[in-house]
């Protein structure tokens, strides 16, 4: 299983374990979007710590997951983008403004708590 | 004259041999007139307002050395000694602000001074003058090129060394307090250094679990479009690592440049000076931990 999705209270934590094919990525998007609505999820955390590469399709998909989640009533935070990956991502010339990111899971949970309560 | 139809390399070896007697005569003339010609040359250098960074005594002593080397180069057809001297001279005068046009100017002046003297000396025999000039001109031009190229090469070497020195100046990423880093940038920012900076910064963010980074560019004199975009990318990359960046110390010139270039500053949080930047950073950190308002929300 390339992606493990855990539920923690009102939050979903999707941990990407290895590189995803484009098809798997789209499946992940649909799956998350479905669950957000069905399980009354308020926040989604996508952990990409294990990824050495995030290509432009993946970056765009993550951004669209964030957008979709927001439309369904949940905030999304990305966790664990590696330095090299960050450098590569900002060179795609994509609009990543919708992507929120934190260094680790603790930070992400804290940020979601703030966003959901105050945001 | 065979020397004119052959390549430069052949000319260099053959010129003295082919025109042996003539060249000998030419060199003898230059030796004989050494005193006058040196003075004439030094005078014309001063008249042309070249080498103003040097005193007349210095000019005269360099003039003497170059003159002798020049005549030797004419005599032997070998420019190595002159080349070495030109490198050495360049090394001494470059730090004093002597420009390329000055060096080329004085070498061409010497060529002219010597040519005039030849005209004067051989004015009675036009045929002979022609043959003397045939021997003199190619050698003189080659010497001029050698000196000019030596100077430029020396200059480029100095520039390269300085660039490397600047690049090697490590840019420290400093931790001010928990979760707050400062990155002071000083000197010239080119693409390579900007990329290196970004890598260092992101590494430090990860290692120190930084939440806020203050990038201070007070020490950066100028910025171009490429570097400005690098800066924007650095801020964006830091955000993807979960840290918000505050830029401080934008000079009015750089601010103007950024606006003129149309760089997208939407993502950049800027504060006037480092002190203000630190206060802002503390505020972001403080607000976060106590009240729980998000500081990493995009603009």
Q: What is the pLDDT of residue B168?
A: 67
Q: What is the pLDDT of residue A84?
A: 92
Nearest residue in B to A111, CA atom: B294
Beta carbons of A79 and A107 less than 8 angstroms apart:
yes
Q: Give the pTM.
A: 0.59
Put simply, the answer to whether B205 touches A83 (Cβ < 8 Å) is: yes
ipTM for the complex shown:
0.85
Q: Indicate the SS3 state at residue B4.
A: helix
Compute the distance between CA of residue B3 and CA of residue B18 in angstroms, rounded to an integer.
Answer: 8
Question: Which residues, in sequence order, are CB contacts of B105 under 8 Å at separation 6+?
Answer: B48, B50
Question: What rounded mean pLDDT belongs to chain B?
Answer: 82
Min Cα separation B225/chain A (Å): 15
Put simply, the answer to whether B240 touches A96 (Cβ < 8 Å) is: yes
Which residues in chain B have Cβ-Cβ distances shorter than 8 Å to A98?
Answer: 298
Give the nearest partner residue to B293 out of A78, A107, A118, using CB atoms: A118
Does A101 reach chain B within 8 Å, measured CB to CB?
A: yes
Give the nearest partner residue to B202 out of A83, A100, A117, using CB atoms: A83
DSSP E strands: which ranges in B202-283? 212-219, 244-248, 269-271
- What is the 3-class SS of A35-73, one letter each residue? HHHHCCCCEEEEECCCCCCCCHHHHHHHHHHHHHHHHCC
Which residues in chain A have Cβ-Cβ distances shorter than 8 Å to B191?
Answer: none
For residue range B231-283, list pLDDT tens digits in order: 888 999 999 999 999 999 988 888 888 888 888 777 788 998 999 999 999 99
Q: What is the pLDDT of residue B291?
A: 47
Q: Indicate the SS3 state at residue B39.
A: helix
Show the low-confidence residues of chain B (pLDDT under 70).
1-19, 167-170, 287-299
Q: What is the pLDDT of residue A49?
A: 92
Put simply, the answer to whether B240 touches A104 (Cβ < 8 Å) is: no
What are the sequence ranges of the domains in chain A? 3-113
Which residues in chain B have Cβ-Cβ distances shorter than 8 Å to A104?
Answer: 209, 242
Under CATH, to which class is A3-113 assigned?
A: alpha beta
Give the nearest partner residue to B241 out of A97, A98, A103, using CB atoms: A103
Put simply, the answer to whether A100 touches B297 (Cβ < 8 Å) is: yes
Nearest residue in B to A80, CA atom: B241
Beta carbons of B145 and B103 less than 8 angstroms apart:
no
Give the nearest partner residue to A83 out of B199, B236, B292, using CB atoms: B199
Min Cα separation B232/chain A (Å): 9
Question: Which residues, in sequence order, are CB contacts of A105 under 8 Å at separation 6+?
Answer: A13, A45, A47, A79, A80
Nearest residue in A to B231, CA atom: A90
Q: What is the pLDDT of residue B256?
A: 87
Q: What is the pLDDT of residue B50?
A: 84
Q: What is the pLDDT of residue B211?
A: 92
Biggest alpha carbon distance in chain A? Answer: 36
Does A83 reach chain B within 8 Å, measured CB to CB?
A: yes
In this structure, are strands B212-219 and B244-248 parallel, antiparallel, or unpaired?
parallel
Nearest residue in B to A78, CA atom: B240
Min Cα separation A114/chain B (Å): 6
Q: How would you label A45-72 residue by residue, b for 16+ Cβ within 10 Å and e otherwise?
A: bbbbbebeebeeebbebbbebbebbeeb
Give the DSSP H/E element, type plus range, for residue B67.
Answer: helix B56-76
Question: Which residues, in sequence order, are CB contacts of A27 under 8 Å at separation 6+?
Answer: none
Put simply, the answer to whether B209 touches A103 (Cβ < 8 Å) is: yes
Q: What is the pLDDT of residue B248?
A: 93
Which residues in chain A have Cβ-Cβ distances shorter than 8 Å to B233?
Answer: 87, 90-91
For residue range A83-94, list pLDDT tens digits in order: 999 999 988 878
Q: Which of B238, B240, B241 to mutate to test the interface with A (most CBs of A within 10 A)?
A: B240
For residue range A5-49, list pLDDT tens digits in order: 999 999 999 999 888 899 999 999 999 989 998 998 999 999 999
Beta carbons of B246 and B145 less than 8 angstroms apart:
no
Nearest residue in A to B298, CA atom: A97
CA trace torsion B69, B71, B73, B77 (10° rounding): -170
pLDDT class of A119 with cuts at 50, 70, 90: low
Compute the distance between CA of residue B212 and CA of residue B185 in angstroms, rounded to an integer.
Answer: 16
């Amino acid at each position: 299983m390339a992606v493990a999705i855990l539920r923690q209270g009102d939050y979903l934590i999707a941990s990407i374990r290895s590189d995803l094919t484009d098809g798997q990525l789209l499946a992940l998007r649909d799956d998350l979007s479905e669950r957000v609505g069905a399980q009354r999820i308020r926040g989604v955390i996508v952990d990409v710590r294990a990824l050495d590469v995030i290509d432009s399709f993946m970056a765009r998909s993550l951004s669209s997951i964030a957008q979709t989640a927001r439309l369904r009533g949940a905030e999304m935070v990305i966790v664990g983008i590696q330095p090299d990956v960050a450098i590569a991502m900002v060179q795609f010339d994509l609009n990543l403004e919708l992507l929120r990111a934190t260094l680790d899971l603790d930070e992400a949970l804290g940020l979601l708590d703030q966003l959901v309560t105050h945001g | 004259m065979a020397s004119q139809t052959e390549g430069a390399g052949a000319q260099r070896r053959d010129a003295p041999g082919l025109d042996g007697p003539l060249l000998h005569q030419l060199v003898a003339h230059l030796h004989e007139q050494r005193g006058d010609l040196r003075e004439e040359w030094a005078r014309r250098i001063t008249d042309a307002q070249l080498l103003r960074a040097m005193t007349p005594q210095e000019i005269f002593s360099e003039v003497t050395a170059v003159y002798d080397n020049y005549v030797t180069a004419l005599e032997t057809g070998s420019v190595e000694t002159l080349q070495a001297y030109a490198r050495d001279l360049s090394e001494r005068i470059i730090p004093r602000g002597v420009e390329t046009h000055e060096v080329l100017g004085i070498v061409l002046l010497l060529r002219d001074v010597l040519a005039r003297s030849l005209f004067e000396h051989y004015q009675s025999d036009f045929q002979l003058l022609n043959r003397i000039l045939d021997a003199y001109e190619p050698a003189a031009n080659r010497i001029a090129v050698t000196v000019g190229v030596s100077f430029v090469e020396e200059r480029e070497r100095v520039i390269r060394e300085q660039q490397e020195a600047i690049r090697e100046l490590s840019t420290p990423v400093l931790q001010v307090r928990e979760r707050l880093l400062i990155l002071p940038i000083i000197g010239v920012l080119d693409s390579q250094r900007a990329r290196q900076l970004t890598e260092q910064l992101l590494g430090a963010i990860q290692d120190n679990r930084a939440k806020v980074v203050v990038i201070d560019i007070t020490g950066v004199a100028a910025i171009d479009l490429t570097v400005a975009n690098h800066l924007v990318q650095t801020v964006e990359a830091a955000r993807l690592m979960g840290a918000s960046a505050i830029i401080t110390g934008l000079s009015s010139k750089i601010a103007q440049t950024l606006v003129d270039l149309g760089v997208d500053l939407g993502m950049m949080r800027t504060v006037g000076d480092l002190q203000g930047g630190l206060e802002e950073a503390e505020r972001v950190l403080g607000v976060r931990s106590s009240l729980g308002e998000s500081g990493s929300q995009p603009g």
